[in-house]
Each structure stands twice: as structure tokens, then as C-alpha cells.
Structure 1
Amino acid sequence: MKKKVLIFDDDVNILELCSIILNECGYEVETSETSHDIIEKVEKLQPDAILMDNWIPDIGGIEATRLLKSHPKFNHIPVIYFSANNDIKSLAEMAGADAHLAKPFDLDELENLIKTVLVD
């Protein structure tokens, strides 16, 4: 069965690019341009991993990641925090993310990071 990745980003170009790359790697990909309903989306889609942008409406990536990580049913889902911020590492730590990826990113780097967090 295909692993599912849920991507939260308000930039449709990033969503499209990541979707194409991850689909080619054999993942099922779902996307969202907002994060205020993260728990509902995760409940519905049951992703195996999440890519979370920092600057996403309405509540932002940090708050959305914290909501997910504080939820007993979903806190096991790995979150990769990705942003163009130069302090991405500290933002990811504040959010409680499992990993981080700086934008712009190398496509191989994205693939490898997804593989790493999805290791069973």
C-alpha cells in the first residue's frame, strides 16, 4: 500500500512541484493551502507524513504543528517543517516538528527526508 504524504503550503507552485516529485517516488499526495483545520484533514486523510510550511494561513505552521503534536491520536505522524526562513531549524524546534527542510530545497533532499521519516 502506498504511503500518503499531506502537504500544507499556501504556494500552489510548491504544492504542485512537491506533488509531482512525491508521486513519481510512489507516494500518494494530498495538499492543503490552509492549516486551521489540520486535525479534521488528518482525521480524514490519515497521512503517513506531513510537510508543513511556516507561512500558511490561517494559524501558521508552528501552531498547526503544535495542534497535531498535542493530539494523542496523531502525535506519532512525522512532520517535516519547511520554509524559506533562515532560522528554519529553530522554527521547526519551536513547532515540535520531527525534521526540517529549507526552501529552496534540492529535490533529492526532499525525497531522502521523506524516506527517512517514513522508515517503519
Structure 2
Amino acid sequence: MKKKVLIFDDDVNILELCSIILTECGYEVATSETSHDIIEKVSEMHPDAILMDNWIPDIGGIEATQMLKRDERFKNIPVIYFSANNDIKSLAEKAGADAYLAKPFDLDELENLIKTLI
């Protein structure tokens, strides 16, 4: 059975690029440009990993990640925080993410990070 990755980012180009790369790696990929219904989206897909952008509308990556980590059903799903912020490490820690990836990122680094966490 294919592993599933759910990507939250408001940049359509990043969603498309990540979807193509991860699909080619054999993952089932779903995307979202907003985070206001994050619990519903995660409930529907049951992803094996989540990529979370810092600037995702409507509630932002930090709050969205914290909501997931507080929920007993989803707290063990690895969240990779990704952003172009200089302080990505501290943002990821504040959010409670399992890992982080600075934008722009190397595609091999993205693949390897997901493989490591799943």
C-alpha cells in the first residue's frame, strides 16, 4: 500500500512541484492551500506524513501543527515544517513539528526526510 503525504502550502507552484516529485517516488499525495479545515483533511486522508508551510492561510502553520499534535488521533503523524523564514528551526520547534526544511530546498533532501520519518 502506498504511503500518503499531505501538503499544506499557499503557493500553488510548490504544491505542484512537491506533488510531482513525491508521486514519482511512489507516494500518494494530497494538497491544500489553506489550513482552516486541517482536522477534517487529515481525518479524511490519514496521511503518513505532513508537509506544513509557515504562512498557510487561515490559521498559520504553527497553530495548525499544534492543533494536530494536541489531537490524540494525529499526534504521531510526522510533520515537516517548511518555510523560507530565516528562523525556520525555532518556528518548527514552537509548532511542535518533527522536522523542518528550509525553502528553497533540495528535492533529494525532501525525499530523504520523508523516507526517514515514515
TM-score normalised by L of structure 2:
0.99
Counterpart CA distance in 2 for 1:74 and 1:107 is: 26
- 1:28 CA drift (Å): 0.3
Which residue number corresponds to residue 22 of structure 1? 22
| Paired residues for 1:1-120 under 5 Å | 1-118=1-118
Counterpart CA distance in 2 for 1:78 and 1:86 is: 22
Report percent identity of matched pairs.
Answer: 85
Structure 1 stretches of 4+ with a deviation exceeding 6 A read none
- 1:94 CA drift (Å): 0.1
Counterpart CA distance in 2 for 1:11 and 1:71 is: 27
Return the letter of the residue paired with 1:29: V
1:51-80 Cα offsets, whole Å, 9 max, x none, are 000001000000000000000011010000
- 1:18 CA drift (Å): 0.1
Counterpart CA distance in 2 for 1:63 and 1:114 is: 22
TM-score normalised by L of structure 1:
0.98
Secondary structure at 2:17 match in 1? helix
Number of matched pairs: 118
Return the letter of the residue paired with 1:4: K
Counterpart CA distance in 2 for 1:87 and 1:47 is: 27
Counterpart CA distance in 1 for 2:61 and 2:36 is: 9
1:65-112 Cα offsets, whole Å, 9 max, x none, are 000000001101000000000100000000000000000000000000
Structure 2: 5+ residue runs without aligned partners?
none
Counterpart CA distance in 1 for 2:116 and 2:3 is: 13
1:6-25 Cα offsets, whole Å, 9 max, x none, are 00000000000000000010
